Amino acid sequence: MTVKYYIRQGGEGVPPGSYGNYGYANSGYSACEEENERLTESLRSKVTAIKSLSIEIGHEVKTQNKLLSEMDSQFDSTTGFLGKTMGKLKILSRGSQTKLLCYMMLFSLFVFFIIYWIIKLR
């Protein structure tokens, strides 16, 4: 615990509460001082809570940014894969293998219908 000293007009340090004949003024002053200390502690606790919350938000933002960058790279690789597949389908459709392409499309529709039917039964 620290003892605070206040300077009188004479320049000498005096501990609080020993103002001699001015005791009535000191009681009002100490009440204000206690109120200020209480409010300061309240403010300090609120600032500490806000600081810890902002640190947690910072950690969450870093985690989310990392997740977003991973998703971005996965979407880029998927886009490349789909682009190659579409290119191969275009080459396949230009050739004389249209009958094979038709069978492949019908098979795809059949598989999707079976998957839909299985999901519908659940």
Q: 3-class DSSP state for residue 5?
A: coil
Instruction: Say if 107 falls within a structural domain.
Output: yes
Task: Give, in order, the Cα–Cα distances in Å from 121 to each of 17, 112, 114.
Answer: 84, 14, 11
Q: Which domain holds residue 33?
A: 6-121
pLDDT tens string for the chain (122 positions)? 455 555 555 555 555 555 554 555 566 788 899 999 999 999 999 999 999 999 999 999 999 999 999 999 888 888 888 888 888 878 777 766 677 778 888 999 999 999 989 988 87
- Residues 9, 16: Cα–Cα separation, whole Å: 15
Instruction: Say if 34 falls within a structural domain.
Output: yes
Instruction: Say if 75 falls within a structural domain.
Output: yes
Instruction: Say if 92 falls within a structural domain.
Output: yes
- Residues 99, 76: Cα–Cα separation, whole Å: 33
Instruction: Say if 52 falls within a structural domain.
Output: yes
For the chain, how big is the Rg over CA atoms in Å?
A: 39
Q: Any idea what DSSP says for residue 14?
A: E
- Residues 105, 111: Cα–Cα separation, whole Å: 10
Instruction: Say if 32 falls within a structural domain.
Output: yes
Instruction: Say if 24 falls within a structural domain.
Output: yes
Can you read off the two tokens belonging to residue 44?
A: 């300090």
Instruction: Say if 1 falls within a structural domain.
Output: no
Count of structural domains within the chain: 1
